Structure 1
């Protein structure tokens, strides 16, 4: 097939797989006549593998991911199923990669058509083909439309809320100000010369922890890092000051969890939301947007199972490079697939010195609620330029980072 060409389907059930020299993430969106999904449930991918008439199959890296469409089971009102692909590696483009979509009869695996989009370059995601209804006949069309802003760009175009572009910076509703929250833009922090390291990857065992300092419980207020690692309990705060100097280097916020029930995967998504001095939302960093604030905040990428020792997802923050307008960061974890935190065990977050690997602060989540989101911790910049970390552990009904923006602003 060539771009724009189409063929009628002589099979009720078809499978579309997309192969390339590198591993690809393949997904599908069910669209109405206006070209939009009805809800996030119409986005079919590795974390939500089935929908009405459409299913996702992982190739596990050995074979291509595939989407199967049963046209007899597609609900009324759905006129098109678009099949998308993006490289699994964060930030990788299709430059030098020639993905090929193969459309097969799902019952006997016979090939109906193949399509290789031509002249790809900086695209990080593609709408490869679409299965669509026209005049009562189901057809397949070769598309090959590229997006330079990854799956987030595709999802935004088609109305999915999980991979949205960041909202405009508008003031959040007023709420009582926490004692440590700034009231006005702070002075710009001292200039720093950052050296970006490689973010820790999911499943990497954590380095041996140094002897822990006493927890903040019973200290009568905030403590700093002078006595070593700090174990926080809910609502306790530590000042990120060591030896009388504010910590303004690169740190990692590692977040981890395990399935509460043996044999079950638990796919959670860690994110960080950045706010300005009026609790205005500046940007969000998550699995669909891996770098924000000119690279001062970076995400390690999505972990799909929660299995294995060590941090499942890591967010790297260069405190010294954060713009002066950033006065608060809230770290959140969500379950887009709808699994509740009562199905999660051993959830925690820990702040690590990126240069030395030393664990500075740790917060273990000891409670669980049947919700799909949790605010784990927040970092607040003080007038002096130092940062303070507060353990939160506040549960929210939200499957995506977008739904965390307002409650996180109110919690600053």
Structure 2
């Protein structure tokens, strides 16, 4: 699955386990229609392993922890169950850790879906997936939303009471035994190891660790950076243009490249491709400007118009690619870039300049991924592949989602 995608559940009882190279604490929260728990009893974790229709199972350190959901036993006022994960080691982030959620038939063991959240960094806790009901049908949605303030941050967001510890008495002048960690409410989170009395504040997140949006104007991305297409608190769901441009690296040499966009579903399944040979896909929500045979001239060489609000729900990911049908390599190309432009105002919103080149015939430039909340995110890719046609780009692009 890709972030924001969903699949219907074919089993009434399902288990979600979350595996990683390190041990993770996995928990579940039962949420009503307002996105909150009814009480702290709706927070299911190892100190409170069962609730109505939801149960926690420990992996004992040799297998991943899991949350089981019996959809038939979930109370009618509960609309979703979110499954969260956090590293067991105190203060550890998800940097370099790729957790994978696997949704299984709890009775037969068949795998129904898998999801690996992309590009994690300074997050110390994660909403991995949510199991929710819609129109009488239960579904699972890939989320991948990170929190920098740990499991307590997630719990607070969803209405769990996090009790503040009482102030510790002044230390006596004589040396004393190390202080014992103050108690934390049993229904909130596993107790954390005691901190030294005068611990320094946590360092600020590294630049780029937070989610960037469009509120401060044009965003210039570097490879693997992501921007949320949200402006003024609202998702950008209007028409945008993805302009792709390049110039010949050597004066007098034409360079014939083809820009395309490939649409995928929630299981990275290929839905359709928009390129010079097929100028419209997804019922007109994506349109191509046509082929440029030389790369000469200022401005965008090829443009793909995307109506974000009209993308059908089965399409959750768009990957923008450039390939050389004639076999010319990207070492023969200069100033390759892609840029996202507001079609109504001509305002450039996001830009990614390709700063390196490899002797390959294809490049994955950027991707647009629909999030579970409805907004779209754009991520710069910049990966080179051996592919001369859009058909050859389908598999590499799916792996980049």
Q: TM-score of the superposition, structure 1-length normalised? A: 0.49
Output the CA distance in 2 between the equivalents of 1:245 and 1:321.
16
1:263 pairs, out of 252, 255, 259, with 252
- Asked if the contact 2:262–2:273 (Cα under 8 Å) also holds between the matched residues in 1, the reply is yes
The yes-or-no answer on 1:178 pairing with 2:178 is: no
Query: Are the structure 2 counterparts of residues 225 and 265 from structure 1 closer, same or farther at C-alpha, using a change threshold of 3 Å?
Result: same
Report what 2:318 is aligned to.
329
Q: How far did 1:346 drift? A: 0.1
Mapping 1:7-406, distance limit 5 Å: 176-179=116-119, 218-406=207-395
Residues of 1 paired with 2:381 and 2:214: CA distance?
19
Calculate the aligned-residue CA RMSD, in Å. 2.4
- Do the aligned partners of residues 341 and 375 (structure 1) sit closer, same or farther apart at CA in structure 2, a change above 3 Å counting? same
Q: Deviations over 1:199-254 (max 9, x none)?
A: xxxxxxxxxxxxxxxxxx92323200000000000000000000000000000000
Q: SS of the counterpart of 2:378?
A: strand
Q: Pick closer, same or farther for the CA change 1:174–1:225 going to 2, 3 Å.
A: same
SS of equivalent to 1:226: coil
Quote the offset at 1:344 in angstroms. 0.1
Deviation at 1:174, TM superposition (A): 7.8
Q: Distance in 2 between matches of 1:326 and 1:399?
A: 24
The answer as to whether partners of 2:285 and 2:311 remain within 8 angstroms in 1 is: yes
TM-score by length of structure 2 reads 0.50
Deviation string 1:278-317 (CA, Å, 9 cap, x unpaired) is 1110000000000001100000000000000000000000
Query: Per-residue CA shift, 1:5-40, capped at 9, x if unaligned?
Result: xxxxxxxxxxxxxxxxxxxxxxxxxxxxxxxxxxxx
CA–CA distance in structure 1, aligned partners of residues 142 and 347 of structure 2: 28
Between Structure 1 and Structure 2, how many residues are aligned?
212
**Kept after mapping to 2: 8 A contact 1:231/1:363:** yes
Q: Against the structure 1 CA distance between its residues 307 and 315, is the aligned structure 2 distance closer, same or farther, given a 3 Å change threshold?
A: same
- Counterpart CA distance in 2 for 1:283 and 1:182 is 28
Q: Sort the Cα spacing of 1:370 and 1:292 in 2 relative to 1 into closer, same or farther, 3 A.
A: same
The answer to whether the Cα contact below 8 Å between 1:182 and 1:381 also exists between their aligned partners in 2 is no
Indicate conservation of the 8 Å contact 1:237/1:390, yes or no. Answer: yes
3-state DSSP class of the match of 1:404? helix
Render the CA deviation track for 1:72-91: whole Å, top value 9, x for unaligned.
xxxxxxxxxxxxxxxxxxxx
Classify 1:175/1:267 alpha carbon distance in 2 versus 1 (closer, same or farther; 3 Å).
Answer: farther
1:182, CA displacement in angstroms?
9.4
List runs of 5+ in structure 1 lacking aligned partners.
1-172, 188-216
Distance 1:395 1:174 in 2: 26
Contact 1:234 1:393 in 2 (8 A): yes
Gap change, CA 1:316 and 1:182, over 3 Å in 2: farther
**CA contact under 8 A between 1:268 and 1:304: conserved in structure 2?**
yes
Shift of 1:176: 4.7
